[in-house]
């Protein structure tokens, strides 16, 4: 399931709809296995440490089967009045997958000491 969340956060969802209650319904085609998935989940308050509560997914053998099932689930959600926004990009990329920041706005150096080339560097040695 974490792979599906990573694909979604990397912008790989074919379709993504924001539902009421800060939930999302996404159609994802996995390029590695050719299967399609529908992912229904809430927002993550733990910055990627945990899978959001109530997350569920459905697996389909092809893109066409996944598309048909997604349209059916979307129609059911629309009929129930749960759809807030089609093609939503809200909260995409909120799942933390990167490392620590090397520098911030208030850093006293412009270069990372581990990657600095002393021959080319414009900084003076202390």
Digit-coded pLDDT (tens) for 77-119: 999 998 887 776 655 544 444 434 444 455 555 555 555 555 6
pLDDT of 5 reads: 79
pLDDT of 13 reads: 86
Domain definitions of the chain by residue range: 1-126
d(CA 93, CA 99) in angstroms, rounded, equals 14
pTM of the model: 0.64
Give the position of tokens 């733990």. Answer: 46
Ranked by mean pLDDT, the top range of 16-20, 101-105, 122-126 is 16-20
Which residue, 23, 64, 53, is CA-closest to 8? Answer: 23
pLDDT of 91 reads: 54
CA angle (79, 26, 87) in 5-degree steps? 75
d(CA 31, CA 35) in angstroms, rounded, equals 8
């Amino acid at each position: 399931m974490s792979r599906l969340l990573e694909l979604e956060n990397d912008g790989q969802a074919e379709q993504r709809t924001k539902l009421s209650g800060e939930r999302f319904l996404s159609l994802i085609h996995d390029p590695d296995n050719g299967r399609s998935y529908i992912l229904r989940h809430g927002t993550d308050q733990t910055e990627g440490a945990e899978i959001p509560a109530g997350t569920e997914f459905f697996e389909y053998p092809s893109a066409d089967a996944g598309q048909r099932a997604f349209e059916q689930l979307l129609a059911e959600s629309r009929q129930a009045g749960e759809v807030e926004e089609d093609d939503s990009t809200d909260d995409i990329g909120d799942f933390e997958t990167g490392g620590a920041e090397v520098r911030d706005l208030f850093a006293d150096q412009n270069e990372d000491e581990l990657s600095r080339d002393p021959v080319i560097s414009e900084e003076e040695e202390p």
